[in-house]
Amino acid sequence: MQPGQKVTYRAFDKVERGIVKCEANEDDVFVVYHCADNWERYFDYTAARTHKSDLTLGWLEDAPQNTMHAQQTNGGASLNG
């Protein structure tokens, strides 16, 4: 996955849109999920480390744009990428 790619997160009964900020390692990437619909400036926002297997390339039609990401909701740390 490359920086700037649109992705859809699907795990833990959550579905939401994001943009890849950068690679974390071979299994994870940092993804920006919330940026007040300011997607063209996604790189200025905090990203959450997300396992690649929970992501689908592209934004799916049924993916909400403004819900809480599972890692944030469940107390996981959001990390800058």
In whole angstroms, give the CA distance from residue 30 to residue 46: 9
Quickly state the pLDDT bin for 72 (edges 50, 70, 90).
very low
Q: What pLDDT is stored for residue 62 in this prediction?
A: 61
Q: What pLDDT is stored for residue 36 in this prediction?
A: 86
In whole angstroms, give the CA distance from residue 52 to residue 71: 14
Residue type, 53: S
Residue 20: pLDDT above 70? Answer: yes
Task: With CA atoms as reference, report the closest residue to 43 among 33, 59, 32, 57.
Answer: 32
Mean pLDDT across 56-81: 55
